[in-house]
Structure 1
Amino acid sequence: MTDLATSDSAAARRALALLDLTDLAEDATEAGARDLCAKALSGPVPVAAVCLWPRFVPGARAALPPGGPVRIATVVNFPGGETAIAPVLQETEAALADGADEIDLVLPWHAVLSGYTTAAAAMVRTVKLRCGEKLLKVILETGEYPDLDKVRIASELAIAEGADFIKTSTGKTAHSASLPAVRTMLGAIASAKRPVGLKPSGGIRTLADAQSYLALADAFMGPDWASPATFRFGASGLYGALTAVIEGGAARPGTESY
């Protein structure tokens, strides 16, 4: 194996270990969720987590017992971010009771963009209270923001109200993760008075894409910062691309599912 291939393989292994392997397709099935859990464990290295609809959490919990290498994440207030707070809290409590390790909450970003931050802050705060020690990732939906100042405001709000991670996107809108948005989010994380993680999500399909985001994280936070406890990718198409690099083949296109 050439030095370049060795380097690419190591970089692909690093990125694969940071992946939230995701299936949030509208036609997702219980069988597909089981297959996702099996894939999460069977690759060259285990992924960080699976991320699936709340109804599939009990089956995932049966397939991925607590204490294993792969965590179970699910989504609430998803994808539009406009559900009332009471149903979102009920979703969260049910998912945690079913065995979810992590909650990916869509920020009420429409309200934030309109300047109505009080209700959005209350939702993040109360969902985090329900999560307790379980991980809360707050999805900002940065691809829909008019400018980076709004990305900064949303990042700082989510962090102030208890987010353990801030995440770019649902993958359900026209525009998802971008390097400028992630740079802004990393700035907010670097300024935080406690540890906060980052999850670029959506539109990340190749090893080169993954390396671009990891290079930003390394530059802001140091080369040893990005680990499953602090950094995730949300892009299932990335799985095929990374495993192909590790195994010495070409990336498989067209496999992304959010």
Structure 2
Amino acid sequence: MMTETSKTIAAKALSLLDLTNLNDDCTPDAIDTLCAAAQSPHGNTAAICIWPRFVAQARKVLGTGHPVKIATVVNFPSGDMPLDTVIAETKQAVADGADEIDLVIPYTAFMAGDEAAVREMVEMIKAQCTAPVRLKTILETGVLEDPALIRRASEIALEAGADFIKTSTGKVAVNATPEAARIMLEAIRDCGRPAAFKPAGGVRTVADAGIYLGLADEIMGEGWATPQTFRFGASGLLSDILAVLDGKQGASSTAAY
């Protein structure tokens, strides 16, 4: 295990951050603000994550080929939309300029024993994600709760072609946890192909980020976590990252891993 200063962890977390605004009252002005915030004085975040209706606006603001990727959500947050609706939503988002699609799996159906529903949706949405568009699958691990269910959902999503497995929508009582992260990282390690991980919801401080980066180092190997393989989904984490990088944050944000 390696120990790093909070500034080192903060700089790494900044490069891995999907800066998120999925508030119900999000406005076009808020999207402009988010795009600007993603380009911080200390470097860019990996992506912004926004509602589909704002993708075209964000693409216009950032332009083509911008290093800050545009991620959007589909089948969100309930996971129970009809497949045809989710396909149409995904096609429109890609046409509008999305670089990444964050898909909520039909987790309620999965919990009722319908693994085929998860597999079919992931496969069909992956088919809409023409390269270089990448697919993240949101498992809603705080609702799945059972470690065996989290592991199985991870396996199905990965088998069906997901580029990332992501913990949570951030819209339920329990979102990312280290326990779920460990299960999902182990599934990635064991899946036999390159895949990526995104803890989302409840990651608010550099200390929190250090816990998840430590798990990635432990399970996948030091240096594995890059913007291609690891993201944080968060709306509030950026402020703590910038406070640490600006030297305004005390020892409470120091994390060892």
TM class by smaller structure: over 0.9
Matches for 1:4-153 after TM superposition, within 5 Å:
7-133=5-131, 134-153=133-152
Q: Distance in 2 between matches of 1:137 and 1:212?
A: 21
C-alpha displacement of 1:13: 0.4
Could you say which residue in structure 1 is the equivalent of 2:203?
Answer: 204
Partner-residue secondary structure (3-state), 2:162 = coil
**What is the rounded CA distance, in whole Å, between the counterparts of 1:67 and 1:224 in structure 2?**
26
* Distance in 2 of aligned mates of 1:236 and 1:43: 18
Structure 1 equivalent of residue 155 of structure 2:
156
Q: Deviations over 1:203-242 (max 9, x none)?
A: 0111110000000001111111100000000011100001
Q: Which amino acid aligns with 1:128?
A: K
Matched, 1:215 2:214: yes
Deviation at 1:120, TM superposition (A): 1.6
Distance 1:250 1:235 in 2: 19
SS of 2:72's equivalent in the other structure is: strand
Aligned counterparts of 1:42 and 1:179: Cα–Cα separation in 2: 28
Shift, 1:132, TM fit:
2.1
How far apart, CA to CA, are the structure 2 residues paired with 1:166 and 1:208? 22
Report the alpha carbon displacement of residue 23 of structure 1 after superposing the two structures with TM.
0.1
Any unmatched runs of 5+ in structure 2? Answer: 251-257
For normalisation by structure 2, the TM-score amounts to 0.94
- Cα deviation, 1:132-157, whole Å, max 9, x if unaligned, reads 22100000000112310000000000
Cα displacement (A) at 1:66: 2.5
Structure 2: how far apart are the matches of 1:83 and 1:109? 11
CA displacement 1:1-36 (0-9 Å, x = unmatched): xxx9x9221110001110000000000001100110
1:179 partner letter: P
**Is the partner of 1:72 in helix, strand or coil?**
strand
Letter in 2 for 1:212: I
Once the two structures are TM-superposed, the CA of residue 250 in structure 1 deviates from its matched residue by 3.1
Tell me: CA distance 1:43–1:20, structure 2 relative to 1, closer, same or farther (3 Å).
farther
Runs of 4+ in 1 over 2 A off after TM superposition: none
Provide the rounded CA distance (Å) in 2 between the counterparts of 1:117 and 1:132. 24
2-structure distance, mates of 1:184, 1:43: 35
Please provide the CA RMSD for this pair.
Answer: 1.2
Work out the CA distance in 2 between the residues paired with 1:220 and 1:213: 11
Q: CA separation in 1, counterparts of 2:176 and 2:7? A: 24
Aligned-residue sequence identity (percent) comes to 51
2:248 corresponds in structure 1 to 249
Using the alignment, how far apart are the partners of 1:123 and 1:193 within structure 2? 21
Structure 2 partner of 1:254:
none
User: Counterpart in 2 of 1:256?
Assistant: none
Aligned to 1:184: 183
2:243 corresponds to which letter in structure 1?
A
Q: Secondary structure at the match of 2:44?
A: coil
The Cα of 1:65 is off from its aligned counterpart by 1.8
Q: How many residue pairs align between the two structures?
A: 247
Cα shift at 1:42: 2.6
Q: Which runs of 5+ in 1 are unaligned?
A: 252-258
> Secondary structure of 2:102's match?
strand
